[in-house]
Structure 1
Amino acid sequence: MTEPPSSGREGGRSLKTRVKTARKRSLSSTLWLQRQLNDPYVARAKREGYRSRAAFKLIEINERYPILKPGQKIIDLGAAPGGWSQVAAKTIGAEQGRGRVIGIDLLDIEPLPGAEFRTMDFMDETAPRLLTEWLGGKADVVLSDMAANATGHKKTDHLRIVGLVELAADFACGALAPGGAFLAKVIQGGTEGELLARLKREFASVRHVKPQASRADSAELYVLATGFRGPPA
């Protein structure tokens, strides 16, 4: 099938793919599938061999704020299906034996050149210690593109994802080397004040980033904290 251009139009005629609602498919599922079929980043991910469209979010963020460097040690939280680990491995040179990338998730992940995947819960109190042992030292960067399962209630979903990011930040502060960076997905909503205040105490710089690869109708953005100050003396 000919791939439609990102504008979805040619010669004034819409080329967007429409999905008919099947008996066993809900309207929300139908709309999601239609959006996937017409998403230029989904098509680009398939064309360029990335595991997910999310890969382009990390690529864009790293182009603006280079946190991934050759030879680093990287931890990817909630790594499935592996798109961010894939970008990290290519960027730091892990495929050539420079640096290491370890992704963890509750789900099994297909093997990927340059990355190691472990099935585990990052909230386990032993996780930071185990990851440090597996990496052979503290991490330079902790990545998290995780999102809590949606309930459909906007305020509840926002609180749940902020809570998840707070737990990821706890993990990062136990696993990062001084000077390290933490990048995590959050949702706009105004209740993440405590999280930001905490990150500003722990890191030299904290900023929000909204990559173009994030869907225009999405409230997601990313918090990037750099210059980890290290554990208290």
Structure 2
Amino acid sequence: MADKALGRGGRKSARDLKVRVKTAKKRTVSSTKWLERQLNDPYVARARAEGMRSRAAFKIKEIDEKHHLFRRGGRVVDLGAAPGGWSQVAAQAVGSTDERPLVVGIDYLEMDPIPGVKLLQKDFTEDDAPEMLIAALEGQKADVVMSDMAWPTTGHRPTDHLRIIQLVELAADFAMDVLKPGGSFVAKVFQGGTEHELLHMLKRNFRTTFHAKPPSSRQDSAEAYLVAKGFKGSEIEEE
């Protein structure tokens, strides 16, 4: 009987190795499926093993590996930073330290300290948030502005897309105020339409604009990442 649970050569199949979670009295079916997916997610395991705050850290890491966003000594602003995975990756990539912090993160949620990162507990959509970030940069321009911000989803994809585009537009406006020429902007979006004006604005202000979906982004997820590189800066005014 025991041999029936084994594949060829006495090895368990991938199906048998998966962790299965029973639905508890106080746990919904959807939350049970989420927990089961987390327990079987290799990126969740990697995040724990490598000391990363979340599996999302691998998304920005993979985007950087392919599109080269970060450089040593560069300054980075992380919008919607909690729980801190993106800031961790950026700090390591640019060589940020507590003595010379090059990364500034902001979120309305409280976060534990991250080496080499200045953290602001503030809602970025509040009017005074951009000024607080600029002050944290101490008069320096940023090389990268990145945003993983998103409102809680409603389950209605067109509505969720419109809501996240609103956040991306706010982030893009801020990026164009603080980026140095040649800088980059990356933000989470949901796949869909109604972003033509945003794309037009980015294409006018950056040399290259494209969408990316890193391997660590679940294939059944509607999320994608909008990447703009080569900020033109004062060239736009000259044009």
Q: What is the TM-score of this pair, normalised by structure 1?
A: 0.91
CA–CA distance in structure 1, aligned partners of residues 22 and 161 of structure 2? 31
The answer for the alignment partner of 2:233 in structure 1 is 230
Larger Rg: 2
**Number of residues of Structure 1 aligned to a counterpart in Structure 2:** 224
| 2:82 is aligned with 1:80 | yes
Percent identity between matched residues is 58
Q: Distance in 2 between matches of 1:122 and 1:147?
A: 11
CA distance in 1 between counterparts of 2:117 and 2:217 reads 24
Report matched runs for 1:19-168 at 5 Å.
Answer: 19-95=21-97, 97=99, 100-136=102-138, 137-168=140-171
Structure 1: tracts of 5 or more residues without a match? 1-9
Separation of aligned partners in 2, 1:33 and 1:20? 10
What corresponds to 2:5 in structure 1? none
CA distance in 1, matches of 2:52, 2:26: 30
User: Structure 1 or 2: larger helix share?
Assistant: 2
Q: CA 1:112–1:101 in structure 2 vs 1: closer, same or farther (change >3 Å)? A: same
Checking the alignment, whether the CA contact within 8 Å between 2:76 and 2:103 is kept in structure 1 is: yes
2:6 aligns with none
Give the counterpart letter for 1:104 in structure 2: I
Picking from 213, 217, 220, the partner of 2:220 is 217
Aligned-partner Cα distance in 1 for 2:19–2:145:
37
Q: Which amino acid is the alignment partner of residue 22 of structure 1?
A: A
Aligned-residue Cα RMSD (Å) equals 1.6
Q: Which amino acid is 2:224 matched to?
A: L
C-alpha separation in 1, matches of 2:119 and 2:153: 25
Cα deviation digits, residues 142-182 of structure 1 (max 9, x gap): 01111221111121111111121111111211221222110
Pair 1:98–1:60, CA change in 2 (3 A): farther
Q: Provide the C-alpha distance between the structure 1 equivalents of 2:175 and 2:136, rounded to a whole number of angstroms.
A: 15
Runs (4+) off by over 6 Å: none
